[in-house]
A and B are shown apart, each in its own frame.
Chain A
């Protein structure tokens, strides 16, 4: 029982991180109807910026405190993500208003390649470290209840907590603020939103900025866990089955989808893997997503698309 609980908790914590990555997809899709293939590249770019600034700031400003250096680096990396958002709107999206979804999707694919290339050109392709003081050693709890106790990965726990807070804040922002409502209006219909005076271009910059900050937080967490390197791009792929499961337009969907995928893949790998050769963790998530696409293509919480014919 203790081991099952450990697997379950591990899955929930991993799932929370998947939710964070999935959130990036959901935010941009909600506000612009674009499936942003560049989300992974944004995570890598933001993490690279954070890691390099954290190393450069102490040299530039003669700062001794790691916390202060990290805080300045976070602000600078955030500023870079703002510049990225502004450039994306200026150079790409502005020219593609009211274009087909496939056109916008291809444009984000292009943005991904540019961000990956420019990011590694500016910051290099070595493995960089982000040290924000996340605890690395595990802790044991409930040793009296379960034989050997329950092992909790402190780093995952803190990361899941940060992800949960960010997800909560964003849910509030979308539901309770005027800008959040404007973002949702733009997602429903570009032209209709423009006709009632919602500044489309500014809204796009805002939403790409928010997605940039989400990418930065995801980059810091994953970068701290794995080291900042090109593989972070693949982390975003973990968000794909999550959004298919939860629905592309739903923030609660991203959270629930993330948790289901997280738990599903860990439990399946641990209990089903040994029977069929192991290594099923990754394709299990996609298999689950495929099932949903067959029977509930809008996902658990997504809006059902009804087209007039």
Chain B
């Protein structure tokens, strides 16, 4: 009783103390906000695709921490906040709405989902926030004249499809040898999985190979009927356009039906450690495209990460994942966003916080040459990226890597997607989109402004 009375007497003093303390603690954050560039981070660490999503997210967030550890972007520190989408489009849109206006406004969104990208494509121009979709999203969004806020940097699924066919042709001895061949596409039955279909069919018509389409329903744990059809149809090659558990299940079913793994080529979202680690020897010989990089444990940027972030106990994920394929994909995605801001600062003021519109200019004028990339620690990891107002992709170089039973190893030289094949399709599809949405494409003159 006595204690309770004492507590009541002290309550106002304690409350005032807490108030002062909290305002003191809050003060640096509020002050800091003025000089912070806000990166909203859409991730999925839960749900059916958590394993793959987490690695990407760890790489993404770690890179932002690394930039801060090196002093920020010309002194501007990065603030970031994660929002969990669980790879669901509705939740992705909810996250976008929640974060777009926070901390002075989002710099750039990277949803890591083609479905969410489709949903945000019409929102981004209204809010004037760029969407970077490195290695995913709408393939026709390469055309910056129509898709003014989408940036499928480093490559689209049409780039991937074209290179996969080039790779098969090389194995067979030339494009002419594709005639009469049968190529099956086992794909995630979602906007992501369906993206390569138009180009694959176009290439089939051009080179005379037959295309067999085999959709797999989300999340892809049941594929027996699919692989029974493959056993019946005996395609010469299988392209695997899966994500998450679908990839490892496909490899297991290929093993169980005796389909040779060295005749399977995955997309760059079907070629990471979680896809094959568990299948191990059963996946030996399986190849996948890379979005330039593979597993890069020896890259300088990885060493910097260990030294400047992990050694100080600030790492996001497990240390052994650093340098793995999806970790690197997240890291490079974050780097592209950061470099967009850096480029924008060159025009709008070094050391200043950039708006979404200014960052769009930066992303449209990215010029990451090999010297710059090497200096940033990406030597051997990636090739130059040079975007423009009309080309929002900036690069279309791809390598192929293969699983040797215990690790991924590069198994091809560099391929470049054939612009003669892709460009007409991009123009056609983006033109159709512009007509549907009644958009007036930007002209080269408008781009100069």
Contacts and interface: CB of A to CB of B under 8 A. Distances in A.
B432 to A, nearest CB: 22
Contacts of B257: 138, 151, 153
A273 B189 CA distance: 13
A234 B216 contact: no
B252 A10 contact: no
A227 to B, nearest CB: 4
B48 A231 contact: yes
Contacts of B231: 3, 6, 151
Contacts of B46: 120, 125, 230
A120 B231 CA distance: 37
A283 B217 CA distance: 9
A138 B257 CA distance: 6
Interface size class of B (residues with CB under 8 A): 35 or more
B115 interface: no
Interface stretch (A54-62, A84-92, A263-271, A298-306): A263-271
Interface stretch (B33-41, B143-151, B241-249, B329-337): B241-249
B48 A279 contact: no
Interface in B234-257: 244-245, 248-249, 252, 255-257
Interface string B318-348: 0000000000000000000000000000000
Given A136-B255, A138-B256, A225-B252, A10 B228 contact: yes
B263 interface: no
B256 A153 contact: yes
B252 A270 contact: no
Interface string A214-245: 00000000000111011100110010000000
A63 to B, nearest CB: 22
Given A7-B228, A155-B256, A231-B245, A279 B216 contact: yes
B228 A125 contact: no
A125 B55 CA distance: 11
Contacts of A278: 213-215
Nearest to B55: A126
Given A7-B225, A234-B48, A281-B222, A227 B248 contact: yes
Contact of A151 (B47, B229, B258, B278): B258
Contact of A127 (B45, B232, B277): B277
Contacts of B54: 125
Contacts of A10: 224-225, 228
Interface string A148-179: 00010101100000000000000000000000
Given A129-B278, A227-B245, A230-B48, A279 B189 contact: yes
Which of A3, A6, A265, A281 has the most C-beta atoms of chain B within 10 angstroms of its own C-beta?
Answer: A281
Interface residues of A, number: 39
A134 B275 CA distance: 20
Given A153-B256, A266-B228, A127 B278 contact: yes
A231 B244 contact: yes
Contact of B47 (A137, A230, A270): A230
A266 B245 contact: no
A14 interface: yes
B229 A270 contact: yes
A230 B50 contact: yes
Interface string B257-273: 11000000000000000
Interface string A274-287: 10011101110000
A234 B225 contact: no
B51 A229 contact: yes
A234 B248 contact: no
A202 B277 CA distance: 43
Contacts of A283: 217
Contacts of A7: 225, 228
Given A136-B282, A138-B256, A278-B215, A266 B48 contact: no
B351 interface: no
B384 interface: no
B51 A125 contact: yes
Contacts of B278: 127, 129, 227
A136 B278 CA distance: 13
Contacts of B229: 269-270, 273-274
B428 interface: no
A105 to B, nearest CB: 22
A225 B227 CA distance: 15
B221 interface: yes
B274 A277 contact: no
Contacts of A125: 45-46, 50-51, 54
B51 A127 contact: yes
Contacts of A6: 228, 231
Contacts of B245: 226-227, 229, 231
A238 B222 contact: yes
A136 B225 CA distance: 17
A279 to B, nearest CB: 4
Contacts of B252: 136, 225-226
Contacts of A270: 225, 228-229, 232
B121 interface: no
Contacts of B50: 125, 229-230
22 contacts: A7-B225, A14-B222, A14-B224, A120-B46, A125-B54, A127-B278, A136-B255, A138-B256, A151-B257, A153-B256, A227-B245, A229-B245, A230-B48, A231-B48, A231-B219, A269-B226, A269-B229, A270-B225, A273-B229, A277-B215, A278-B215, A279-B215
Task: Rank and list the top 3 A-B pairs by shortest CB-CB distance, nearest first.
Answer: A269-B225, A279-B215, A227-B278
Given A6-B228, A125-B54, A282-B222, 6 more contacts: A10-B225, A127-B51, A127-B248, A153-B256, A266-B225, A278-B213
